[in-house]
């Protein structure tokens, strides 16, 4: 049977599906599990090895000593070098992942390799899937599209404090999102070093709560720290938009005034991860599950917003360039949405 079947409102996948597509679906599922449960799995592996492992407990103790005393601040010092991450960024697994949706990377202008850039990516969606595929793997030719630049995605600092899971984050070139890490990545480089394209998903976990198909609600009006870092380092701000990101998942939205809604928001503030109830698809049906929907995502990189270098910017200066960036982002979205969205005239950008 090659056609889709629907039973009691559940849309089932065809029985005869090429192995390639099955592997793509498996890669997308593994991606969700790694981000949603990776922290928990990292701690569970650690406790299991320490309590039940025989020779494994000694290896784990050595690893923990190395992690706490020798490698603790690596996330603030540029992360792992290329020789440790290239194999992961180029792995076959990520090729399947990128092809699942699929994700495409486009540019509107060239970025000169002679300077650093702060790429501000929107929207976060549930998992920032488009930004990850474009800049944390090498299967979308990011380094060919922007030659001479080293793309580094930044994420929550606490991810690098969790045994074993931190190695997963490091493996695709991730670094911490704290200002110390950003300023280190955006420092002037030596002649033998590549300049850095730092990728920051500005909306973060708070924006995940607002993710609904065909809507683009951004958390940006109060997020100004990235502008301050850009001014302190004299780094251009580059708008990046992932069209289709919000279509990968729906979610069951809880009222912010309800008990469960308050618990949900408390957990987000405590651990930095949004515990949302996602509605995706399964392996054999399309109506519910944890796997993102197979829908295209196009990541578009816009033109840089130049900012002056001001070592100690005032709040008024931060506000000025923050407002200018929001205006540039809105114009960028309104221009590009007609190329990548269905019914673009009905879809508006809502900045909160």
Average pLDDT, integer, range 159-176: 95
Please give the pLDDT value at position 284.
82
Q: Evaluate if residue 51 carries a pLDDT over 80.
A: yes
Q: Find which of 11-25, 50-64, 230-244 is predicted with most confidence, using mean pLDDT.
A: 230-244
pLDDT of residue 4: 61
Is it the case that residue 110 has pLDDT exceeding 80? yes
Q: What integer pLDDT is reported at residue 11 of this predicted model?
A: 76
pLDDT at 276 over 70: yes
pLDDT at 83: 85
pLDDT of residue 77: 94
Sign (positive/negative) of CA torsion 325, 199, 177, 150? negative
More confident call, 234 vs 53: 234
Average pLDDT over residues 251-260: 77
234 pLDDT higher than 90:
yes
DSSP 49-104: HHHH-SSHHHHHHHHHHHHHHTSTTGGGTT-S-HHHHHHHHT-HHHHHHHHHTTEE
281: pLDDT strictly greater than 90: no
Q: How far apart are the first and last CA of the chain?
A: 47
For tokens 């951004």, the residue is 218
Helix (H) and strand (E) counts for the chain? 12, 13
Nearest Cα neighbor of 103 from 148, 134, 59 is 134
pLDDT: is 227 or 18 the higher one?
Answer: 227
Identify the pLDDT of residue 15.
Answer: 76
* Residue scoring higher pLDDT (58 or 15): 58
Tens digits of per-residue pLDDT, 183-193? 999 999 988 88
User: What is the pLDDT at residue 261?
Assistant: 74
The answer, as to whether pTM is greater than 0.85, is yes
Is the backbone peptide bond immediately before 171 cis, with ω within 30 degrees of 0? Answer: no
pLDDT (0 to 100) of residue 3: 56
What's the CA angle centered on 113, arms 109 and 119, to 5 degrees? Answer: 60
Mean pLDDT of the chain: 92
What average pLDDT does range 323-350 have in this prediction?
Answer: 95
pLDDT digits (tens, 9 = 90+) for 284-306: 887 888 999 999 999 999 999 99
Q: What is the pLDDT of residues 134-146, one digit of tens each?
A: 999 999 999 999 9
Residue 1 has pLDDT above 50, yes or no: no
- Give yes or no for residue 2 having a pLDDT over 50: no
Helix spans in 111-243 (H):
129-135, 142-145, 165-171, 179-185, 204-208, 225-233
User: Average pLDDT for residues 215-234, to the nearest whole number?
Assistant: 96
């Amino acid at each position: 049977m090659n056609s889709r079947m629907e039973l009691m409102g559940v849309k089932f996948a065809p029985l005869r599906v090429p192995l390639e597509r099955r592997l793509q679906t498996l890669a997308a599922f593994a991606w969700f599990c790694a981000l949603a449960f990776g922290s928990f799995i990292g701690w569970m592996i650690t406790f299991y090895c320490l309590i039940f492992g025989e020779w494994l407990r000694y290896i784990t103790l050595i690893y923990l000593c190395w992690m706490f005393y020798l490698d603790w601040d690596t996330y603030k010092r540029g992360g792992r070098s290329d020789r440790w991450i290239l194999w992961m960024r180029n792995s076959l697994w990520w090729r399947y992942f990128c092809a699942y949706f699929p994700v495409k990377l486009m540019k509107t202008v060239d970025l000169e390799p002679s300077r650093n850039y702060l790429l501000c990516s929107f929207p976060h969606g549930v998992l920032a899937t488009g930004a990850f595929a474009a800049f944390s793997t090498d299967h979308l030719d990011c380094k060919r599209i922007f030659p001479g630049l080293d793309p580094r995605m930044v994420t929550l600092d606490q991810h690098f404090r969790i045994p074993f899971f931190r190695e997963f984050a490091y493996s695709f070139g991730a670094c911490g999102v704290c200002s110390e890490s950003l300023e280190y990545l955006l420092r002037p480089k030596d002649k033998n070093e590549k300049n850095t394209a730092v990728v920051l998903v500005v909306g973060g976990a708070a924006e995940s709560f607002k993710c609904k198909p065909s809507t683009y609600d951004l958390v940006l009006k109060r997020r100004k720290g990235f502008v301050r870092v850009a001014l302190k380092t004299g780094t251009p701000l580059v708008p990046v938009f992932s069209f289709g990101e919000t279509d990968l998942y729906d979610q069951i939205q809880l009222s912010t005034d309800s008990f469960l809604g308050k618990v949900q928001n408390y957990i987000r503030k405590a651990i930095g991860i949004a515990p949302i109830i996602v509605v995706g698809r399964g392996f054999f049906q399309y109506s519910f599950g944890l796997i993102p929907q197979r829908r295209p995502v196009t990541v578009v990189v816009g033109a840089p917003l130049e900012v002056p270098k001001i070592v100690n910017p005032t709040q008024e200066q931060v506000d000025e360039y923050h407002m200018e960036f929001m205006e540039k982002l809105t114009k960028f979205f309104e221009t590009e949405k007609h190329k990548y969205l269905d019914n673009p005239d009905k879809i508006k950008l809502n900045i909160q």
